[in-house]
Amino acid sequence: MPFVKKEYFVENEIPAFLWLMRRFRLSQGEAQRVIDRGRLLCEGERLPDKAAKIKGRVEVVYFQPASRGRAPILTTPDFYVFDKPSGVLVHPKKMTSPYSMLDEVRHYGGRKANAVHRIDKETSGLLLASRHKEAERFLKGAFERKAIAKRYRAWVRGRIEHPFGVSAPIIQNDDYGPTKHKVFIDSAGKGAQTDFFPILYDPVRDATLLECRLYTGRTHQIRIHLFHVKHPILGDPIYGPDYATAEAYLEKRLEPEERWRKTGANRLMLHAYSLEFVYKNPYYIVSRDDFVDAACEICPPQLRAPVSGGWKGTERP
């Protein structure tokens, strides 16, 4: 478990944030966030506010990374790049969450290292992490300014032979009664543009590997745009299958074989393939994971076969 609790004894009364700053070498803002998140207990009780004082037995809950050996594929003095596997969170959702990519980020980079963007749990691929606060501010700002170009790859249902674009506004769903979709295509939503380029067609699975270029960063943008044009991503349990399947997935009772039958894969077949940006130097970083042959592993063993046949487009349109 990455979060651990350690007990201390404070002999003389002292403001809680000041004790944290001195004991753990934190800034005042970092110490106050520990208190705000309920990670400092005095005599077993959470502190009422940041100005509280402590004395006696105190407990501190803190993140202790537990690496599983997934080393960064690129290391610079300012940032790391990791290849995140499908099924792993970027950040723990709660203190009881198991392994996440933050374990690797902090294992290699220390307490001040941090992931600077998010990737959905089931999406695999490149994750950028800062090594210090200055890099974190710059890289998060670069994502907000759209100064970092992200390209994804996706296996989708059906045969696609020509590049195409989708320009369709996206709105958040506020009623999960009739559908489990998190977002919809709606004229009242925010503008969104995605371009798609076919790379490879697999006739065995009747599936096309696409490169996806985002020009906006809406929630589930690639997924909803591909669903909108009737080429949903293989393995997508929300955008594509029926309501019962989506509900079963969200309630963690959808069996792998049933998911494969309903969606074509046992995971979301979306991969963060490349990052391109400038940080002191220009960088173009490509994932090392082989997503072309990933389709071999997304169906039951009796149907597994190498991806082959069909036509093949350019690797970098």
The residues annotated with a catalytic role in the active site are 120
Residue in the block written with tokens 């077993």 = 44
Q: Which amino acid is at 180?
A: K
Phi, psi of 250 (to 5 degrees): -65, -30
CA angle in degrees (0–180, nearest 5) for 55-58-62: 140
Map residue 278 onto helix, strand or coil. Answer: strand
CB 34 within 8 A of CB 20: yes
Do the Cβ atoms of 55 and 14 come closer than 8 Å? yes
Give the contacts of 52 (CB within 8 A, at least 6 positions apart): 15, 16, 35, 42
Count of C-beta atoms within a 10 Å radius of residue 263: 27
Contact 2, 63 (CB under 8 A): yes
Buried b (16+ CB within 10 A) or exposed e, 236-261: bbbbbbeeebbbbbeeeebeeeebbe
What is the per-residue DSSP string for 48-86? SSTT-EEEEEEEEEEE-----S---SEE-SSEEEEEEPT
276's CB contacts (< 8 A; 6+ apart) are: 148, 149, 151, 282, 283, 284, 285
* Beta-ladder partners of 15: 53
